Chains A and B, each alone.
Chain A
Amino acid sequence: MNPTSSRPATYVYGVALAEPFQTGHPPLGVPGIGGRGDPVRTIVLQDLAAVVSDVPGLRIDLRRENLLDHQRVLEEVLRRSDVLPFSFGTVAASDEEVREVLLRDGHDALREQLEYVRGCVELEVKVFWEKERLFAEIVQENDEVRALRDTIPLLPDDQAAMERITLGQLTEAEIELKSTWEADGLLKVLEPVAVEGLVSPNLSDTMLLNAAFLVERAREEEFDRAVAALAEAHAGRLVFNYVGPLPPYSFINLAFEAEG
């Protein structure tokens, strides 16, 4: 272990209002990151609390266990309170730094951000094409694609090779069109149930929607039902990945300046 990184430090999970964690409320029963059983605790300044735990040094390995620990702590906090999550791997040199640089200097910005997401959670929706169905639909819907498909097998090799490239280009364009159309339709259904949506770039060529939604806790079940209804309506055609509730990672708009 690198000696310069082995001073004990403070891992930061997120920031919440202090009240739900103060005396009278039970401690968070989930262990801190690192597998040493460090208790998750809060550093309080005025009305804000940073949710933290001790870590042995200034480095956090990008490993599955650590990611899970980070996520589980925030899930536990989210059950009890609104919380602004930190990106994975945030370590302050000390509790003092957290109190001064994060909570004191950032107080107003943090309060404002907490107010914005008050009573809300984040829900992730990723939607994929069922491949075979996608290509079958393209062949159905596009005469040029279908014609090329039928004639290519009859062509001499060199000509066929050229035509295949054309076919591929046409298909790619169709996938793009269909995906946009389809995604718009899905968003129209989900929009009205959410406070805000953030659409991110698709991560693969069969993904057609990659979206995060800020949803009021009181409407989470309604959102669940909306997603389930869409999945049902498109069974065999689209695959839905639905994850949540998460703290509102995607809806945070904060810029911090801090010394290392």
Chain B
Amino acid sequence: MAISYDRAPAGRSQQATASRGGVQKMGGSSGLAEVLNVILEKGIVIDAWVRVSIIGIEILTIEARVVIASVDTYLRYAEAIGLTTLAAAPRTAESTALPGLPGLPGLPGLGGPSEEEILAYLEAHPDGVRLSELQAYFGAERAELQAMLNGLVQEEAAALDPERMVYRPGSILAPAIP
């Protein structure tokens, strides 16, 4: 069968909502956002009869993201890489033998962040991180995070700036905790 490639410039862009496996087949009306580019750009077109009027108050909410190959984009990627776990090890022969799985040891577990992950995040944000930010990022329980941070501060792996109430990596000089 034939595969062909449409070189036309990209129109709107869309962001999928994450789902845990499986796929729901949507009809064209319920999946309207996903087929917008098709309905507007494909099909039979008689130029002189195209009368679309963008009086334009209400259009479907589409998250428009313009991808610019710029320093900004590179820094975003660097940040994302910086947040991957420090515990991830290079692929070994054993790990690639796992049936049906891509074999990735050391991924952030489902049971909340590890100390390494918290430290990695602190190090990626040397200006200081609030507890609520950690909570939002890791989606973890506040009490659990607080307990881990207390432990890290005691070990001096992390430090708390009591004036601004932010945490930093312990390697950076921080005001003494009263």
A pairs with B: yes
**Contact: B52 with A88, CB < 8 Å?**
yes
In whole angstroms, how far apart are the Cα atoms of A77 and B45 in the complex? Answer: 19
CB of B15 within 8 A of CB of A131, answer no
Residue ranges of A at the interface with B (Cβ–Cβ < 8 Å): 12, 14-15, 58-64, 67-68, 70-72, 74-75, 84-92, 101-102, 122, 124, 126, 128, 130-133, 135-141, 143, 145-146, 148-150, 152-153, 164-165, 167-169, 171-172, 175, 187, 191-192, 194-207, 212, 224, 227-228, 231-233, 235-237, 239-247, 249-250, 252, 254, 256, 258-260
Please determine whether B65 and A235 come into contact, CB atoms closer than 8 angstroms: no
Residues of chain B contacted by A200 (CB below 8 angstroms) = 5-6, 8, 10, 37
A interface: dominant SS: mixed
- Report if B107 contacts A (CB, 8 A): yes
Residue of A nearest to B24 (CB): A242
Q: Check A90–B25 contact: CB distance below 8 A.
A: no
- Known pairs A130-B18, A203-B12; A196 contacts B85 (CB<8 A): no
The SS class assigned to the B binding surface is loop
Q: A70-B39, A140-B104 are in contact. Are A197 and B12 (CB under 8 A)?
A: no
How many B residues are at the interface, by size bracket? Answer: 35 or more
The number of inter-chain residue pairs (CB within 8 angstroms) is 283
* Chain B residues closer than 8 Å to A133, beta-carbon distance: 107
Q: Given A143-B90, A243-B25, A258-B48, are A201 and B6 also a contact pair (CB < 8 Å)? A: yes
Quick check: A256 and B22 within 8 Å, CB to CB? no
With A203-B11, A242-B25 in contact, do A71 and B35 touch (Cβ < 8 Å)?
A: yes
Which residue of A15, A87, A153 contacts B40 across the interface (Cβ within 8 Å)?
Answer: A87
